[in-house]
Structure 1
Amino acid sequence: MQQVYETMYILRPELGEEQIEQAINKYQNLLREQGAEHIEIQHRGKRRLAYEINRHRDGIYVQMNYQGPGTMIAPLERSMRLSEEVIRYLTIKQEVTDAIPESSEPAEE
């Protein structure tokens, strides 16, 4: 069953542009190998963190939206947890509402 997910992760701020692209491609390819479809990547750039994480005050934010089976999340998060370039990550399952809202009767004046 296809679910819709969003993963936001934060990369170390001292990474170069080439290293950032390699990290993004690595996680995108990992998702593809696990059966993900409709992968959308949003590179949000370097931002100030709300609080210090591992002595970092800034981070490079990347957001991925994708569809696929729930079994693909564990390998993705394991890879991020073991990576030294990722300082934080979060995956959420999004609610998909395909139902068409019922139209109510027009109000009489």
Structure 2
Amino acid sequence: MKDFYYETMYILRADLTEEQVEQAIAKYQTLLTEAGAEVQDTQHRGKRRLAYLINKQREGIYVQINYTGDGSQIAPLERALRLSEEVLRFLTVKQEVRPPAPVAVEA
């Protein structure tokens, strides 16, 4: 089956402690890995002001996970994100994995 490159960005509540944020990040990484995805990169982008109120919150902690998989990992991840009270919003974007462009060797 063909692998795709996925990027999921989610926003955690700003009132979480640093330990709770790290636990949430680890939980979603583990969920992806157990579902068969290969996590490429995780970026903790920090606390930022939201453009508008979400669940009466003015700030949120942004986290981005980049991973590859065949697509079957998306539903369990998004279900967990949707049911979690610590997650305000999430978005998953898909791109095809492209082979690296050939590099010309100077002679």
Residue aligning to 1:105: none
Instruction: State the 1:19 CA deviation.
Output: 0.2
Count of residue correspondences: 102
1:25 and 2:31 equivalent?
no
| Runs of 4+ off more than 3 Å | none
1:33-72 alignment, distance < 5 Å: 33-72=34-73
Instruction: State the 1:37 CA deviation.
Output: 1.0
Deviations 1:37-63 (A, max 9, x none): 143100000001111101001000000
Separation (CA, whole Å) in 2 of partners of 1:100 and 1:13: 41
Mean CA deviation greater in 72-81 or 86-95: 86-95
Q: Unaligned stretches of 5+ in structure 1?
A: 102-109
- Structure exhibiting the larger radius of gyration computed from Cα positions: 1
Instruction: State the 1:94 CA deviation.
Output: 1.8
Question: What secondary structure is seen at the aligned counterpart in 2 of 1:71?
Answer: coil
Question: What secondary structure is seen at the aligned counterpart in 2 of 1:70?
Answer: coil
The sequence identity of aligned pairs, in percent, is 66
Instruction: State the 1:81 CA deviation.
Output: 0.3
The CA RMSD measured in Å over matched residues stands at 1.6
Distance 1:98 1:57, change over 3 A: same
CA contact (8 A) 1:4 1:68 kept: yes
Q: TM-score by structure 1 length?
A: 0.87
Residue aligning to 2:95: 94
1:85 and 2:86 equivalent?
yes
Instruction: State the 1:96 CA deviation.
Output: 3.4
CA contact (8 A) 2:12 2:61 kept: yes
CA contact (8 A) 1:28 1:39 kept: no
Q: TM-score by structure 2 length?
A: 0.89
Q: Unaligned stretches of 5+ in structure 2?
A: 103-107
Question: What secondary structure is seen at the aligned counterpart in 1 of 2:73?
Answer: helix
Instruction: State the 1:27 CA deviation.
Output: 0.1
